[in-house]
Every structure is written in C-alpha cells, then in structure tokens.
Amino acid sequence: MATSLVTTTATAVPGTPVPSTAAGRSRTALPLTLGIIGVLLLAAASMFVGVSDVTLPKLIAGDTNAWDILLISRVPRTIAVILAGMALAVAGLIMQQMARNRFVEPSMVGTVESAMLGILAVTIFLPATPVLGKMGVAAVAALVGTWIFLTIISRLPTRNTLLVPLVGIMLGGVISAITTFFAYRYDLLQTLNTWMIGDFSGVLRGRYELLWIVAALTLIGYLAADRFTVAGMGADFTTNLGLNYRTIMRLGMSIVALITAVVVVTVGAIPFLGLVVPNLVSLIFGDNLRKAVPWTAVFGAGIVLVCDIISRTIRYPYEVPVSMVMGVIGASFFLVMLIRQRAKNRL
Amino acid sequence: MPNPARALDSPTSIISRRGLSPVAVTAILGVLAVTAVTVFLTLGLEGNISYILPRRITRVSAMVLVAIAVAVSTILFQTVTANRILTPSIMGFDALYILLQTVVVFLFGASTWLTTDPSLRFVLEIVLMVTFSVALYRWMFTGATASLHLMLLVGIVLGTLFRGFASLLQRLMDPSEYIVLQDLFFASFNLVDPMLVWISAGIVALCCAIAWRMRHTLDVMALGRSHAINLGINHHRVVMGVLVLCSLLVSVSTALVGPVTFFGLLVASLAYQMCRTFSHTWLLIITSLLGVITLVGGQLVLEHVFGFSTALSIVIEFVGGILFLTLLLKGSLR
Amino acid sequence: MIRVDQARKSFGTLVAVNDVTVDIPAGGVTSIIGPNGSGKTTLLSLISRLAPMDSGTISVSGLDVTATASRDLAKKMAILRQENHLTMRLSVRDLVGFGRFPHSQGRLTSVDREHIDRALEQLDLTPMAEKFVDELSGGQRQRAFIAMVLAQDTDYLLLDEPLNNLDMKHSVETMKLIRRMADEFGKTVVVVVHDINFASCYSDRILAMRDGELMCQGTPADIMTPDVLRTIYDIDIRIETIGDQRIGVYFT
C-alpha cells in the first residue's frame, strides 16, 4: 500500500483503488462536467435574483440600468460566491486531511476566530492599515491559531474522533471570548459582526477582487492534495515515504489560514461549509482525494450559491446573511452525521 | 472499631485528611457571599436612597436567583449523567429557551405576545421549555449510554443550531418586532422586572426544595446508572424529574440574564475542588454560594475596579472555556 | 429461585439473548460461561433489571423483575457489573455505605454501620476504609465494590465477571469469598466467568451459553467434558483431573 501511495500519488485512504487509467478518468470526467454545468446554471440564476429588476428581455433590449446592475453588483457577487464557496470547501478538506478527522473545519478549530482576533487587533492599534495589510495580519493570526490547534491534538494520547472537534470548538470559543472582550472594550462589536457574519450583499465591483487570491490557493491545494493525506498519517509515515512532513504541514496550514483570512475580510465567516462539503463528497464518491478535490470545489460553489439565493429570496425584499442560512443547514447536517456515528457505534 | 459517628454526611472534625470540612467551607463561603451582597447593596449608596436601594435589591436578587438556578441545575445535571463536564448550558438548554421564545414571537407577533400578562407569558414559556427539553434530551440520558464525547458534541451542535435558527427567524421578522425581541433577550441585570424576580424566586425555591428532598437519591445517582438501579432507584423516573427541574431552572436564569454558557461548569468544578465530599447536602449549598460569590463579587470587581458594567459574561466565557478545555484534555489523559 | 422464562433481548439485528428459559435454584454458586458475545452479560442484565427485556418473564424469589418496585428488588438481589467507573471521590467506607441505601434511603442507622463494618472486614478492607476509592489498586477497588454489594445484604448476588482486572491471588480470593457467601451465608450467587477452570472449581452449577442461547447446564462434572466444551467454544479442550478438580487444558 505504501508503495502505491508514492507511485500513483493519488489516494486518500489506503486501500482505496486509484483509477489512474484513461477509462477511469473519462468515467469521472462526465459527471464532473455535469456538476460544473449545474454550478453555472445556478450562477446564471443568481444573476437574476435581487430587488432591482434585471431580466433577460431588458438586457437584450440594451437597458443600461439593467446592464449596470448586472456588471457592478450581480456578476461580482456571483463570482465572489463561487470563489468563496470553492475555497472554503477545499480549505475544510485540507484541514480534515491534516487533522485526520472528518469532524473539523477552519471555523471549528480556532482558525476563523484567530483571524478575527487579528483583524480586530489591527483595527484597534493601526486603524489606517489598508485592507491588504489587515488581511496579512489576519492570515498570520489564523496561522497561529491553526498551529495551536494542531499542536494540542498532536499531544492527545488517543486520537479520539470526537475529542478533536470538541477541543477545536472550545479553542475557538476561548479565542472568540478574547476578541469579544476587546471589541466590547473598544466599542467595536458592530464592526466585529461584519466579519463574523458572512454576507455577500456588500459585494460590488471593486470591492471583492481580493477574493481571486483564493482561486490561486485552491489550485495549489488541488495540486498538493494527496500530500496532505500522507501528512495526516503522521510524521513517521510521511518521512518513510520520502516526503518532508514539516513542509507539507506548513503548506497546508498556510493555505487554510490564507483562505480563511481573505474570505473573512472580504465577505465574513461562513460556518460549517468546510465541514459539510467534504463529507457530502465522500458520502457520494468515497474517499479518493484526487477525485474529491474538484468535486469539493464544485459542491462548495454550488451550495453557497444556493444558500445565497435563499438568503436573497426568503425575506424578499430584505436580505438575510448567507452565514445564517448556512449555519442552520450546516448544523443540521453535522447533527445527522453525529447521530449516524452514534448508530454505528451501537453495534 | 471504626468511628461510628462518621455517617454518610456528618463529618465531625473541622480539618480532616480531606482538607477543610464541608461545614467550614460552607461557613466561609456563606460569609463571603453575604459580604458580597452587602457591599453590592451599600457601596457608594448616596443621593435618593429610596429610589436607588429598591433597584439595587431587585438587581442583586436577580443575580442571586440566577446563581442558585445555574448552580443547582448544573449539579443535578452532572449527577444524573454521572460526569463532571456536561452542563445544561453546554448541552444547549438556554439556546433552546431563546429559540422557543423567538418562535413564539415569530408565530404570534410581538404585539400580541407582549400585551399578554408578563407572568402568564413567562409561565407559558416555561411550560413550552419543559415540554421541548424533555422531549429532546431524554434519549441522551435514559437509553444505552452513549459516549461522553458524542453527547457533548451533539449538545454543542444542538446549541449552535438553536442559536442559528433563532437568529435566522429574528431576521425574518418585521424589523420592529425584532427590536422588541432583542430587548426581551438582553434584559440584563440593570433592567429586571421586579414581578419576574418574584415568579423566578418561587420557581427556584420550589426546585431547590425538590432537589433537597432528593439529595440522598442524588448521591446514589452519581455512582452511575447500573449502581443506582442495583440500589433500588427508579433511574428513569429520577432522570426525567431532574430533566424537568433543569429546564425550569434554565428558563429562569435565561429569562433573567440571557445565556452564560460556562458559568455552571465553572462554579460546579470549583465546588468539587473545595468540597471534599460527594454528599449533595453540601454540594448543593456550596455550589450555590460559590455562584453567588462569583456573580455578585465578579460584577462588583468589574464595575468598581475595572469600570466595566456588563462584561462579566465575557470573562466567564473566557475562563470557563479554558477550564472546559483543561477538563477535556485531562479526562482524555486518564 | 431465579426463573427465566422465554427471555429475549436484541440490539438492532443482533439477538443477544434468544428465548432463554432456565431455573436457577436457590443456594449455591451458579457460573455462566461461554465465548465472547454469547449473551452471558446480557442475561445477567435482564435478570437484574438493568436492561429491559423484549419479551419473556423473569422472577427472582417469586418477584417479577419488571413489575416489582426497584427498591424492593434491591433488598432481594444485588448486581455488580464489570466496569465501575466513579466520577466522584469517595472513601471506601462511603462506597460500602451506599450498599445500605435500599434499607436506609441514605440515613444510616447503627444496624447499617454494623453491616458496613462487617463487609469491610470480610474483604480485608478495614485498614484502608478511609482511603479514597481512586487511590486503590485495581484489585482493591474491585473488592471495595464487592463489599458494597455485600453490605446490601441480599439473598441473591449477581456478579458480572468479578475476576476482570484481578491478578491470580485476588482472583482466587474472590472466588473463595463467593464460595463463602453461598456456604456460610446461604446466599444464591450467580457469576459470569471467563475462565472455565474457575467455574469448574468453585461452582455447584454451570450454565453454558453460546450465540444467545443456553447450550447446556449441569454440574461441573457434566459440563467439563471435551465434547460439551467443544460445542461451546469450538476448540478441543483436554480435561485433566487433578485432586478431585476437573481442569480444562486449552493452552496447546
């Protein structure tokens, strides 16, 4: 098994056969194309949902007002949704591989909370810092938070599946309490909410472009995906395969931290996405990481698109933050996962 | 011949191998609690005393009630689940209360709901709360023993779900109704309705009386399910009874101050450390006193030393969160 | 007498106890043996009302275990399970004192204290009565729990693998104690044991279970034969008679 890991460099879990033949590739390619078409259809639908009247006839008629709204608001918003969805889902997958645990994702292990603490610190001490600078500080903070989490769980004597997310959630809670305290102290609770509650309603042309950074990060994540799986098996295992454990872990943590920081700064946190999508993908397609990454991206984009459309229509003409819709869906999904786990352990 | 005077709950010496005796701990904590309350009532008391004092009394009564409600519910809950890390708040009880309140306002509209008599409203909310919490949580404690970590995680996620659902519903409401509801939830100690304090006092007193009568049974329950059944306890009935008591007490504390997740865990853990006895006779008293000291004393210190007024809950979340993590990690090392 | 009539218990698709009918007469030591997952522990849980039955009836000394008040049953029979994890810090004496709960409901009388002292004495726990249970070694802790069910002073005593975690010396002592319970105090002891040789040497009757069913029952002489043991365990076990004890040799 170990040798197959090295030679094919494409497997998630030992024991899963890797379809590396041309036939295997074409079999996976067709559904994936359909998935991408599905996302594009959702994206198209997203263009036409909103308070202002943007319809196909108007666009064809050359209504400048409709075109303006489409190009300034709807298109950027849809792109932002797709980018954030893909990136967060892939970040969740990488996180799960590194922690070797299906029940974690960046918003459940202190990464997101640390990013917020970082942004808050910049806002308090250097309020004039440009967005890119805030993002950098947030990324460094997120990195530190993720590192603390991974360090704690590596010290756990037994890799108890459920203990890992518990520790993560609590670590996040503690960091969050520090953030809330200072936000309260400096009267920044309102500002804090804009990062805490993910919302695409503020996305306009010129105010979301930083999100393209995460597209690049997602790609890197895809290319290095199988390495994270290997690293998740432990330092000894990784070294045995001739890979550098520390380098891989650093790369993984950096990708996760950067994606988190960029998304939190531009649109705010979207909870549970990184948990739901990889699990959904593995439920449907099994545990083949090479196959899983593109699907994770597709599902991530698709689910956030659906949630965003719901959040725009559920209380029309008002909008509900997308993170609240995702929060309810994600928490319900997580509960189902846990109850299935319980049923499994019974026997 | 061993000392026959050593009954289950009557330690005789003040200082034994177990440290301070429960009597001594209770006495010291009692003095501290009374001092905290007195200082709270009298510190900087000047000007229109007949106006300020009644307000302060209402405020401090609410705090004492919350302290006792949280302390007693936490001990009861931890005893029937035979562990020291689960608490009603961690399992999402107070989030459930907030969700139910939101659902009611959502369904009936804030105007209708708020024009009903506040006492009637409170009672209705409590009935709802008891019904739902028993229906929701009974599977966790009566059936086959699920793993502790699973229960914790399910509880935390349930809490997240309830909170998320409540905030979603709040967004779906008319903005004016939303504001009304927000006022309902964030009735901090500063603006407590005296009527609510009276009703709460009644409920807390009743629950405490029942818990007190059950104290010997509770000692046995803490041994775990099979020992309790072996010793002739109707385990199922006691668990259901405690579940009802806990939801009553959580309703009271959440209605008075809103949710504070780790307060119960904090005072109960402190109590277990200080009170070197398993006996609920002492545990219930000592935890309640610790609750009063933490809440009233903590508020005093924050207000007068640091100059904050409502940050206590944040501090408790921070300290409690760290404590929880420690307990979790320590437990896994065993 | 313990009467088990058509008792059945399943967990999902797994039938743990499959319509078992057996009478365990009063007095003496009855051992339940069988491979892992044969339903021994589940049967004991059904008798002791720790787990609800799917169907069937069980009575202990004429009391139907599903219908009789738990408190009354607690004065008739005591059960000790294998895993005994305590969340609280208790002294040995306090733990043993809990055995008196069915009689005193938490308010100890002088009669209760006599029972406690006697139980401590019988298990050699008097010197460590004031120690905390979590400070004891595995064997001492096991004895403390046995002392607790002893203090309960019941006619029937059900023990689920009491030899778990015990070394040889303490295993032998525990089995001897179980023998004394039956011989000197006239108790009816039902004990689940893994080691067939302990069952052979210390019991009056053996019940052998497999796949949720009662395969056979009888005296140690009836059960300790290569043929019977093969049907239970699927391995060949040679029986040697040493003194007047039958010992199964299954190591080679």
Name residues 9-48 of chain C within 8 A of A (Cβ). 11-12, 14
- Report the relative pairing of strands C28-33 and B15-16 from DSSP bridges: unpaired
Judgement on whether residues C161 and C63 belong to the same structural domain of the protein: yes
Domain that holds residue B254: 53-333
Assess B330–A contact: CB distance below 8 Å, yes or no.
no
Contacts of B308 in chain A (CB under 8 A): 184-185
DSSP assignments along B113-175, one per residue: HHHS-HHHHHHHHHHHHHHHHHHHHHHHHHSSPPPHHHHHHHHHHHHHHHHHHHHHHHHHS-H
Q: Whole-angstrom Cα distance, residue C200 to residue C246?
A: 7
- All residues of chain B having their beta carbon less than 8 Å from the beta carbon of residue A346 are 144
CA distance to partner chain B, nearest, from residue A275 (Å): 13
Rounded to whole angstroms, the Cα distance separating C182 from C188 reads: 6
Residues C69 and C160 placed together within one structural domain of the fold:
yes
**Neighbour subunits, C (≥3 Cβ pairs < 8 A):** A, B
How confident is the model over A274-294, as pLDDT tens digits?
A: 999 999 988 887 766 777 888
Residues C130 and C205 in one domain: no
pLDDT score recorded for residue B121: 80
Task: State how far the alpha carbon of A253 is from the alpha carbons of A10, A228, B176, in Å.
Answer: 20, 10, 44
In the structure encoding, which two tokens stand for residue A304, read together? 């956030």
DSSP-assigned letters across all residues of C205-239: EEEEEETTEEEEEE-HHHH-SHHHHHHHHSS--EE
d(CA A12, CA C4): 52
| CATH fold label, A2-346 | ABC transporter involved in vitamin B12 uptake, BtuC (1.10.3470)
Which residue is closest to B327 within chain A, CA to CA?
A167
CA dihedral A324, A325, A328, A334 (to 10 degrees): -110
- Alpha-carbon distance of A126 to A122, in angstroms, equals 5
pLDDT value, residue A198: 85
B78 to chain C nearest CA, in Å? 10
Residues B75 and B284: beta-carbon distance below 8 Å = yes
Residue the block writes with tokens 């439920």: A283
Across the interface, of A320, A328, A342, the residue whose CB is closest to B165 is A328
B/e letters for C127-143, b = 16+ CB within 10 Å, e = fewer, are ebbbbbbeebeebbbbb
DSSP H helices, chain A, are: 2-8, 22-47, 56-60, 64-69, 75-99, 111-125, 131-155, 163-185, 189-196, 212-223, 225-232, 235-240, 245-266, 273-285, 289-313, 322-346
Q: Which of A178, A314, A346 sits opposite B172 (nearest CB)?
A: A314
C-alpha pair distances (Å), A330 with each of A136, A230, B32, B92, B258: 28, 28, 46, 17, 25
**Cα–Cα distance measured from residue C12 to residue A343, given in angstroms and rounded to the nearest whole number:** 10
Contacts of A320 in chain B (CB under 8 A): 168, 171-172
Q: Smallest Cβ distance to C98: which of B223, B229, B235?
A: B223
Which of residues B186 and C133 earns the better pLDDT score? C133
Residues 317-346 of chain A with CB under 8 A from chain C are 346
Total structural domains within chain C: 2
Instruction: Provide the pLDDT for residue A22.
Output: 46
Q: Is residue C189 part of a domain?
A: yes
CB contact under 8 Å between A346 and B144, yes or no, is yes
Residues C72 and C99 both lie in one domain:
no
In this model, does residue A238 exceed pLDDT 70?
yes
Each residue's pLDDT, cut to its tens digit, for chain C (252 residues) gives 999 999 999 887 888 999 999 999 999 999 999 998 889 999 999 999 988 899 999 999 999 999 999 889 999 999 998 777 777 778 899 899 999 999 888 888 899 999 999 999 888 889 998 888 888 887 788 888 889 988 999 999 999 988 887 788 888 988 998 998 899 888 999 999 988 999 999 999 999 999 999 999 999 989 988 888 888 988 888 888 888 888 888 877
- The Cα–Cα gap between A249 and A232 comes to 9
Chain A residues with CB-CB distance to B164 below 8 A:
324, 327-328, 331
C161 and C54 belong to one structural domain = yes
Q: Is residue C50 part of a domain?
A: yes
Contact indicator for C170, C147 with CB cutoff of 8 Å: no
Q: Would you state the structure tokens that stand for residue B285, as one six-digit string? A: 């008293």
Confidence (pLDDT) at A31: 81
Tokens of C203: 């019991």
DSSP B9: T
Q: Are residues C241 and C159 in the same domain?
A: yes
What is the mean pLDDT of the segment spanning B306-323? 80
pLDDT given for residue B143 in this prediction: 57
Q: Considering C98, C131, C153, which residue would you say is the last residue of a domain?
A: C153
B278 occurs within a structural domain: yes
Q: What CATH number is given to the structural domain containing C221?
A: 3.40.50.300
Element of type H or E holding B38: helix B22-42
Residues C136 and C161 reside in one and the same domain: no
Query: Poorest-confidence range of A169-183, A193-207, B281-295?
Result: A193-207
Same domain, yes or no: C54 and C68: yes
Place of tokens 């009354």: C72
Contact state of B222 with C87 under an 8 Å Cβ cutoff = yes
CA distance B231 to B241: 18
- Reported as type and span, the H/E element at residue B16 is strand B15-16
Judge if C41 and C105 occupy the same domain: no
User: The domain spanning residue B202 has which CATH number?
Assistant: 1.10.3470.10
How many Å apart are CA C46 and CA C4, to the nearest integer? 9
Distance CA B268, CA B157 (A): 23
pLDDT at res. A27: 59
Q: What are phi and psi of C13, to 5 degrees?
A: -90, -10
Residue C210 lies in a domain: yes
Neighbours of chain A (3+ CB pairs under 8 A): B, C
A6 confidence band (pLDDT: 50, 70, 90):
very low
Beta-carbon contacts of C20 under 8 Å, excluding residues fewer than 6 positions away, are: C4, C6, C7, C8, C39, C43, C56, C209, C212, C213, C214
CB C149 within 8 A of CB C79: yes
C-alpha A146/C-alpha A97 separation (Å) is 14
Q: Do B230 and C86 count as a contact with CB atoms less than 8 A apart?
A: no
Does the structure show a pLDDT above 60 at A2?
no
Strand partners, B37: none
Q: Are strands C28-33 and C205-210 parallel, antiparallel or unpaired?
A: parallel
Answer yes or no: do B230 and C48 touch at CB < 8 A: yes
Instruction: Decide if C14 and A346 are in contact by the 8 Å CB cutoff.
Output: no
What does the alpha-carbon distance between residue C156 and residue C169 come to, in Å, rounded to a whole number? Answer: 25
| Domain ranges, ordered by start, for chain A | 2-346
Mean pLDDT, chain A, rounded, equals: 83
Q: Is B252 helix (H, G, I), strand (E, B) or coil?
A: helix
Residues C205 and C104 in one domain: no
Provide the shortest C-alpha distance from residue B200 to chain A (in Å).
29
Tokens of B265: 């865990």
| Residue A12 confidence (pLDDT) | 39
| Residue whose C-alpha is closest to residue B284's, from B129, B73, B101, B132 | B73
**What's the pLDDT score for residue B330?**
79
CA angle, residues B155, B161, B166, in degrees to nearest 5: 130
Based on the fold, state whether residues C229 and C126 are members of the same structural domain.
no
The reported pLDDT for the residue numbered A26 is 52
Q: Provide the residue range defining the domain that includes C236.
A: 1-76+155-165+184-252
* Range with lowest mean pLDDT among A65-79, A327-341, B120-134, C78-92: C78-92
Residue B71: which of B265, B297, B243, B317 has the closest Cα? B265
The mean pLDDT of B210-231, rounded to a whole number, is 90
**Three-class DSSP category at A343:** helix
State the SS3 of B281-333. HHHHHHHHHHHHHHHHHHHHHHHHHHCCCCCHHHHHHHHHHHHHHHHHHHHHH
Structurally, how many domains does chain B consist of? 1
**Closest listed residue to residue C247, CA positions, set C199, C210, C207:** C199
Please tell me the distance from the alpha carbon of residue B275 to that of residue C89, in angstroms, as a whole number. Answer: 10
Q: Mean pLDDT over residues B242-266, rounded?
A: 87
- The answer to whether A342 contacts B146, with C-beta atoms less than 8 Å apart, is yes
Asked whether the predicted pLDDT for residue A18 surpasses 80, the reply is no
Given a cut of 70, whether residue B6 has pLDDT beyond it is no
Q: Tell me the chain C residues in contact with residue A347 when contact means C-beta distances shorter than 8 Å.
A: 11-12, 14
Domain for residue C3, yes or no? yes
Would residue B104 count as lying in a domain?
A: yes
Residues 123-162 of B with CB under 8 A from A: 144, 146-147, 149-150, 152-154, 156-158, 160-161
Beta-bridge partners for C240: C247
The label of the residue with tokens 């298109």 reads A75
Which residue, among C9, C13, C2, C16, has the nearest Cα to C52 in the 3D structure?
A: C9
